[in-house]
Amino acid sequence: MTARSDNLCSHCLLPIGLRAMQRKVNGEDCAFCCYGCCIAFQVKHGKSEEWEAAWLLIRLGVGAFLTMNIMLISLVLYAGTFSGADAWLLPWIHLLLWIFATPALVILGEPYLRETWAHAAQGRVTSSALVVLGVGAAYAYSIFATIEGSEQVYFDTATMVLMLFTIGSYIEAAGRAKAARDLEPLLAAESECATVVDEGTESRRPVRDIGAGMLVRVKPGERVPVDGVVIEGLSHTDEAVITGESRQVAKRVGSAVIAGSINLDGPLLIQSSGAGSATRWAQICRSVRDALSRRSPIQRIADRVVGVSVPFVLILGGLTVAYWAQLMPFDQALLVGLAVLVVACPCAVGLAAPLATSLGIGRLARCGCLVRDPGTLEALARTRLLAFDKTGTLTSGRSRIVGIESDGAGTDEVLARAAGLERHSEHGLAHAITMAAAARGLEPVVTSDVRAVPGRGILGNADGQPMAAGNSALMGDLGWSLAPALRERARSLEASGHSVIYVGWAGRVHAVLSLDDTPLPEAHSTIEKLRSLGLHVTLLTGDLAPAARRVAAMVGIEDMQACLSPEAKRAALDQYRQSYEVVAMVGDGLNDGPVLADADVGIAVGSATDLARETASLVLPPGGLWMLPWVIAVARMVRKTILTNLMWAFGYNLVALTLAVLGLLQPVLAAAVMASSSLLLVVNSLRLSRLPDPAPSALPGRLPSAEPDSVRRALGVPVMSGPAIERG
Amino acid sequence: MTYYLVIFAAGFAGSFHCLGMCGGFACALGRDPRGPAATVGRHLLYNAGRLTTYCFLGGVAGALGEVWCTSRGLEVPTLNGSLDTAQRVLAITAGLLMILMALQFFGLLQGFHRVAVGFGGSTLAVSLRSLLKSPSPAAPVAFGVFNGFLPCPLVYAFAVQAASTAGALPGILVMLSFGLGTFPAMLMMGGVGRMLAPSWRQRGVWLAGSFILLLGLITLGRGMLPFAAHVHAWAGGSPG
């Protein structure tokens, strides 16, 4: 718990706002966002030996005891028991009430008084001041009435209002903690402990102390604490928090495991491959915590309204008392004023946004989607245009051979020869050729004397013949002949945006390989879903127009602009912004950082590095393009919840305030009304936690979890970017 | 008065059901090391806390009943006045609820039991545990107060009965009678310790169930029988 940031509540994990409280629980410093969380946390976590937790309960219990007795006695009074012959008893009963009320007031009102005092010292007036003032006035008047010997005292109102406020804030905090349960695993990465095996002895250590090479034992049901490789055991893991997809991935000796995934059914012994604090999971935790501690624009407005409303309500309460005092006895006018102060307490307004946003952030983070701050969700919900980058976003970003045009040679021979040459090259296209040969099970032809010609291609010798692979300029330099049909074909392929490699041997060009960056299989359905959400979709790319046009047609985007420099992309976005107001840019986060940063919402797909670079405000997991429609749906749902919350909070307060000003609402009833309004907001926001998971089943041609892991490793590609390979 | 005596008796009979759970608490509260007088004081404080909560619940239930009746009947009813339709509906509802709870005591309605007991009980139980060990003299009061709020079908049954009186004050008195009825058994538990065999506890549960069933039938009858005179005769000495 100490590892947690100081600006999140220890109980409900909401950002600590204006009503912060500091307490020591179980010997640890805890900070709470409100009194309710302070109570709820101690009730739940306070160890029984811990004096403070028990002391809090004793105080609340005794406070409740006194309050209830005051109410019972008052009820007997109201029934007229002490009128007539027993009227001499009345002053004594009032005295008894006074004696009961004083400790009750001290016990229950102390936190509110302390809060008011602390804020007053900072020159602020907050809602607790309303409670303190209202209750204090009722109490002071009642003392006065007791001494005067008048008919009516209001000790019951004063204590009951305090009691209801305390109970209301407790219930509200309990509801919020329910919401926080979703966030708990996401914030646990750094405070979590792992079982480290060191020369046969096991010890529990914090994850952040784990370095590369250490052995870690993970029991079934536990979260894998570090990235690493399985060296003992057989199990399945659920990597939803990293990849966004809840499915079982088989793990055996040699399999790579990701920190943050849940070990499902067998114990595993894992060799850590890096520091515990450097995993993506740890990054996710940091990111979620940062996001939670920031405030969204709506929240800032709400807070400002709350800040302004308190002095306003004080004045309103004063005016109400002054008005009613002319029409009815002063004590009743005072009660009306008390009802006004109590009912106008703007607790619910302050709660409207943070609960919904943290639920939304948690919901997304559990599926591997990270949000930089609550404002991102609001902007995303209002987004009307989504601009996509092409390479690496809609496409796999890796070229593949899409066609082989040959002249007097078999396809396999061409590939085997080309692969023999290209396996000596580091070029991106070369990798595509060796992959294609390997996929067909071809043995690359042994090639010697290999040398690269920069900007041209690669040369070598095989079977005693000179070999070459490269562009037309290389073939021109060599003076090798090229059949006219093949030349024509190559030209048309180049015109349509393909990369073309000429392969020749023995003084002649034998084949033309066309390579292309293919769209991701889920791109088309994703674009379709986005459009059905009412979004305008466009493609902004730096690539040549023919290639861009082809990809756009394949994924179903009509509107596109090609040949854009990063500056031109920003200009295009600005232009779109004029007609669509809020625009989002989706990129891979590597090449288009400035554009992502410039959009209202920059969405990066699958770039773990980008988390640190702060250019994108929303990061999807690797291969997580398909989740975009779901993310937008969640963002919209969050925004809708915030708006209904605010409408409800304001509307409720206004109606109740009107009733109170008109003298139609009793103070005790007003306190009950207030407590229930906060509770309603909590219930309304909790609906967010029941949002459905994203549905990957809509994807065509997804591989089951049979072996992707071992395939990835065999290819020597980092596990993180795995899903992109699977699909590419 | 007869009415409240019946409630007292029902509370007394029902308290043997309490011994299962609340009796355990009373035992756990245990003896005060400072002597028998302190022990008695401790348990009186605990029971006072419990009684206060019961009375409070009764008052709230009664007030709710009153609100219901006045909003329908536009006239504050009293127990010995004639019954209007609203009161009849209230009495029938209360009677049926009590009969349901009685059936649950006989083990006939398990689902209902779960609904009744599962409501927020665990948090309360957790907080109670930490109070038990506290040496503070005020702890038993707080313990009693929270204990009173523990979900318990017996308390619910009598709270429903309190609601059917359609008045805060009679509601309080119903629960006061019931609470006082549970005093002897609970004090005994605190002082003597666990002395009743499980078989006896089972008999206590049946006894409590029978009383609630009887009360439920009477309440139901109050709502159903056409003659106000019958009710009048039955609830003769009730406050007016």
A604-620 pLDDT, tens digit each? 886 545 454 567 888 88
Residues of B in contact with A49 (CB under 8 A): 133
CB A121 within 8 A of CB A302: no
Chain B residues with a Cβ under 8 Å from any Cβ in chain A: 48-49, 52-53, 55-56, 59, 123, 126-127, 129-134, 136, 138-139, 141-146, 168-169, 172
Q: What is the largest CA-CA distance in chain B?
A: 59
Q: Which residues contact B32 (CB under 8 A, 6 or more apart)?
A: B38, B39, B41, B42
Segment of A230-239, B7-16, B36-45 carrying the highest mean pLDDT: A230-239
- Kind of pairing, strands A618-620 and A601-605? parallel
> With pLDDT > 90 as the criterion, what percentage of chain A qualifies?
6
Residue range A621-635: mean pLDDT, rounded: 87
Distance from CA of A62 to the nearest CA of B (A): 5
Residues of B in contact with A62 (CB under 8 A): 138, 141-142, 145
Distance from CA of B56 to the nearest CA of A (A): 6
pLDDT of residue A524: 87
Contact yes or no for A75 and B139 at CB 8 A: no
Q: What are the backbone angles phi and psi of residue A345, rounded to the nearest 5°? A: -55, 110
Grade residue A706 by pLDDT with cuts at 50, 70 and 90. very low
Residue range B26-41: mean pLDDT, rounded: 72
Contact yes or no for B53 and A57 at CB 8 A: no
Residues of A in contact with B48 (CB under 8 A): 65
Single-letter amino acid, residue B62: G
Return the bridge partners of A604, or none.
A587, A619
A530-569 pLDDT, tens digit each? 999 899 999 888 777 888 888 888 888 888 888 888 788 8
Rounded to whole angstroms, how far apart are CA atoms A519 and A548? 11
Residues of A in contact with B53 (CB under 8 A): 64, 68
Contact yes or no for A61 and B131 at CB 8 A: yes
Over the Cα atoms of chain A, what is R_g?
Answer: 34
- Kind of pairing, strands A601-605 and A583-587? parallel
Return the bridge partners of A537, or none.
A386
Residues of B in contact with A51 (CB under 8 A): 134
Rounded to whole angstroms, how far apart are CA atoms A61 and B150? 13
Rounded to whole angstroms, how far apart are CA atoms A619 and A638? 18
Rounded to whole angstroms, how far apart are CA atoms B14 and B21? 12
- Is the CB of residue A698 less than 8 Å away from at least one CB of chain B? no
Contact yes or no for B59 and A48 at CB 8 A: no
Single-letter amino acid, residue A693: D
The pTM assigned to this predicted structure is 0.72
Grade residue A319 by pLDDT with cuts at 50, 70 and 90. very high
CB B240 within 8 A of CB B77: no
| Residue of chain B minimizing CA distance to A40 | B123
Distance from CA of A57 to the nearest CA of B (A): 7
CB A678 within 8 A of CB A168: yes
**A positions 40-59 inside 8 Å of B (CB):** 43-44, 46-51, 53-55, 57-59
Return the bridge partners of A602, or none.
A585
Rounded to whole angstroms, how far apart are CA atoms B224 and B219? 9
Rounded to whole angstroms, how far apart are CA atoms A452 and A725? 27
CB A258 within 8 A of CB A281: yes
CB A681 within 8 A of CB A352: yes
Please determine, for residue A698, whether its predicted confidence score (pLDDT) is greater than 60: no
Q: Residue A263: is it exposed, middle or buried by C-beta count within 10 angstroms (0-12/13-18/19+)?
A: buried
Give the DSSP letter string of B74-128: SS---TTS---HHHHHHHHHHHHHHHHHHHHHTTS-HHHHHHHHSSSHHHHHHHH
pLDDT of residue A634: 92
Contact yes or no for B131 and A55 at CB 8 A: no
Name which of B129, B134, B172 is nearest A75 (Cβ-Cβ).
B172
Q: What are the backbone angles phi and psi of residue A718, rounded to the nearest 5°? A: -55, 145
Rounded to whole angstroms, how far apart are CA atoms A50 and A27? 9
| Residue of chain B minimizing CA distance to A66 | B52
Residue A544's alpha-carbon distances to A392, A519, A524, A561, A585, in angstroms, are 15, 16, 21, 10, 19
Span of A513-527, A712-726, B205-219 with lowest mean pLDDT: A712-726
Tokens of A216: 């870690």
Distance from CA of B145 to the nearest CA of A (A): 6
Interface mutation target, options B50, B145, B147, B173, chain A, most CBs of A under 10 Å: B145
Rounded to whole angstroms, how far apart are CA atoms A498 and A490? 9
Distance from CA of A42 to the nearest CA of B (A): 9
Catalytic positions of A: 389
Rounded to whole angstroms, how far apart are CA atoms A389 and A523? 12
SS3 B231: helix
Nearest to A586 by CA among A392, A387, A438: A387
Rounded to whole angstroms, how far apart are CA atoms A252 and A254? 6
**Helix B198-224 vs helix B153-164: crossing angle, to nearest 10:** 20
pLDDT, greater one: A728 or A648: A648
Residues of A in contact with B66 (CB under 8 A): none
Q: Which residues contact A313 (CB under 8 A, 6 or more apart)?
A: A130, A340, A341, A344, A346, A657
Return the bridge partners of A216, or none.
A196, A270
Contact yes or no for B134 and A58 at CB 8 A: yes
**Placement of tokens 């409630």 in the chain:** B7
Contact yes or no for B126 and A44 at CB 8 A: yes
Q: How many CA atoms lie within 13 A of A359 on its CB side?
A: 29
Nearest to A2 by CA among A34, A38, A28: A28
A143-166 pLDDT, tens digit each? 988 888 777 788 888 898 888 888
Please determine, for residue B227, whether its predicted confidence score (pLDDT) is greater than 60: no
Interface mutation target, options B127, B129, B238, chain A, most CBs of A under 10 Å: B127
User: What is chain B's percent helix, strand, coil content, to nearest 5?
Assistant: 80, 0, 20
Residues of A in contact with B136 (CB under 8 A): 54-55, 58
**Placement of tokens 């506290």 in the chain:** B134
Interface predicted TM-score (ipTM) of this complex, two decimals: 0.79
A643-672 pLDDT, tens digit each? 998 888 888 888 888 898 888 888 888 888
Tokens of A381: 């919900």
Residue A719's alpha-carbon distances to A97, A243, A255, A709, in angstroms, are 71, 11, 10, 7
Residues of A in contact with B29 (CB under 8 A): none
Rounded to whole angstroms, how far apart are CA atoms B176 and B178? 5
First-to-last alpha carbon distance for chain A, in angstroms, is 43
Contact yes or no for B131 and A47 at CB 8 A: no
Rounded to whole angstroms, how far apart are CA atoms A16 and B88? 52
> Across chain B, how many H-helices and E-strands are there?
11, 0
Q: What are the backbone angles phi and psi of residue A201, rounded to the nearest 5°? A: -105, 140
